[in-house]
Amino acid sequence: MATPRFNSKSPTIKRILREAAEISHSPSADYHASPASDSDLFEWHFTLRGPPSSAFANGIYHGRIVLPPTYPLRPPSFRFLTPSGRFEANREICLSISGHHEETWQPAWGIRTALVALRSFMETDAKGQLGGLECSKAERERIAEGSGNWKCGICAKNNREILAECEEAAKEKEKEGQQAEEVAIPNELKMGYKDEMGKGKETAEEPIGTSAAPVAIEGIVNTTDGASDTTPAKPYPPARPGQTAPQPTGQPQARIQPLPNIQQNPQAQAQLVHGRSNDGVPMWIDRAIAGVVVLLVAMVLKILLGL
């Protein structure tokens, strides 16, 4: 009896198989993706047509996707195997949908959404992006003309043949009355540069409730196809010691007086060093006076009790 190659009860495996079936049953003439082999569901190959009305319009490009073991909780990694003049060949690229920016990835996104976004990203400027290239329009058009003949050793077909099969399958679906699913790029998907994203976190102050990102409620994240993934919602960061959240009371809050800046206030510094009170009198004199008062009170009480 043959043993299964993977655990079909795993949520990750179920998600991968579901996405592979969706792409196969709803083919597109502009892109295709599938596992590279039946024995390894975590390595995919993709083929996509260049975005129209661009220097890549006549190009057909091939690449590799690697899914992490915890997909879709963590994002996949992408690399182009075909030269494009936009991304370096056979090098992981840095995008907000890739493993270089796990903080921007959302489990609701899938491989189909990532491919549509990746196709649109080709028209953007590299700006020093990891894995990005700056080339002239003429050079990109030259590379695009020959990209369709590039053949993948694993897929055993060239790029033009792969998309020709997808285009034929899409036409057959249209004859059956099934329209290809339109995939919109989420507003949150933007080019992810490490430096720029770091600066955005420090400078951007977005009001609460204005974000267009999907909201995780009780660990349920809605997916693009209407299904739900039971992925844990991100917890709020714990409060630091002594820190509490302000509560609305309807009463004006008392103003907290700031502590004196010792480095910029020599008088306050001398006051702390010499142990002086606020009125300039040494603290030992205050303590001595307090002791004398206590003794006088004790003597008076003794006299009164003696009477």
CATH of the domain at 116: 3.10.110.10
State the Cα–Cα distance between residues 65 and 95, nearest whole angstrom.
Answer: 13
Q: Which domain holds residue 147?
A: 11-199+221-229
Residue 163: predicted pLDDT: 96
Whether 301 and 225 map to the same domain: the answer is no
Instruction: Evaluate whether residue 253 is within a structural domain.
Output: no
User: Please, which pLDDT band fits residue 96 given cuts at 50, 70 and 90?
Assistant: low
Q: Which residue type does 273 have?
A: V
Instruction: Evaluate whether residue 301 is within a structural domain.
Output: yes
Instruction: Evaluate whether residue 251 is within a structural domain.
Output: no
Whether 273 and 142 map to the same domain: the answer is no
Whether 176 and 117 map to the same domain: the answer is yes
70: which DSSP letter? T
Average pLDDT over residues 66-70: 94
Q: Which residue type does 228 have?
A: S
277: which DSSP letter? -
135 part of the active site: no
Whether 194 and 270 map to the same domain: the answer is no
In degrees rounded to 5, what are phi and psi of residue 306? -70, -30
72 vs 277, higher pLDDT? 72
Q: How many C-beta atoms surround the C-beta of residue 281 within 10 A?
A: 11
Whether 170 and 71 map to the same domain: the answer is yes
Sign of CA dihedral 300, 302, 305, 306: negative
Average pLDDT over residues 251-265: 48
Closest CA to 29 of 47, 11, 55, 44: 47
Average pLDDT over residues 242-253: 43
Residue matched to tokens 């010792």:
262
**Does the pLDDT at position 282 exceed 50?**
yes
Whether 120 and 182 map to the same domain: the answer is yes
Instruction: Evaluate whether residue 238 is within a structural domain.
Output: no
Q: Name the average pLDDT for the chain.
A: 73
Please list the residues that pair with 64 across neighbouring strands.
Answer: 45, 79
Whether 192 and 83 map to the same domain: the answer is yes
Whether 273 and 194 map to the same domain: the answer is no
Beta strands (DSSP E) in 68-219 are 77-80
User: Please, which pLDDT band fits residue 289 given cuts at 50, 70 and 90?
Assistant: confident
State the Cα–Cα distance between residues 197 and 214, nearest whole angstrom.
Answer: 19
Whether 185 and 275 map to the same domain: the answer is no
Whether 194 and 271 map to the same domain: the answer is no
Q: Which residue type does 251 have?
A: Q
Contact residues for 194 (Cβ-Cβ < 8 A; gap 6+): 94, 100, 101, 130
Number of domains in the chain: 2
Residue 133: predicted pLDDT: 86
Whether 179 and 277 map to the same domain: the answer is no
State the Cα–Cα distance between residues 86 and 63, nearest whole angstrom.
Answer: 13
**Does the pLDDT at position 61 exceed 80?**
yes
Tens of pLDDT, residues 1-56? 444 567 878 999 999 999 999 999 999 999 999 999 988 999 999 999 999 999 99
The pTM is what?
A: 0.59
Instruction: Evaluate whether residue 245 is within a structural domain.
Output: no
253: which DSSP letter? P
**Which of 73-87, 96-110, 134-148, 219-233 shows the lowest per-residue confidence on average (mean pLDDT)?**
219-233
The structure tokens listed for 124 are 């953007």
**Does the pLDDT at position 266 exceed 60?**
no
* Catalytic position from the list 94, 152, 155, 166: 94
Instruction: Evaluate whether residue 210 is within a structural domain.
Output: no
Contact residues for 59 (Cβ-Cβ < 8 A; gap 6+): 49, 50, 84, 140, 143, 144, 145, 147, 148
Instruction: Evaluate whether residue 2 is within a structural domain.
Output: no
Residue 265: predicted pLDDT: 52
User: Please, which pLDDT band fits residue 98 given cuts at 50, 70 and 90?
Assistant: low
Whether 157 and 276 map to the same domain: the answer is no
Instruction: Evaluate whether residue 216 is within a structural domain.
Output: no
Determine the number of helices (DSSP H) and then strands (DSSP E) in the chain.
7, 6
State the Cα–Cα distance between residues 111 and 223, nearest whole angstrom.
Answer: 12
Residue 99: predicted pLDDT: 56
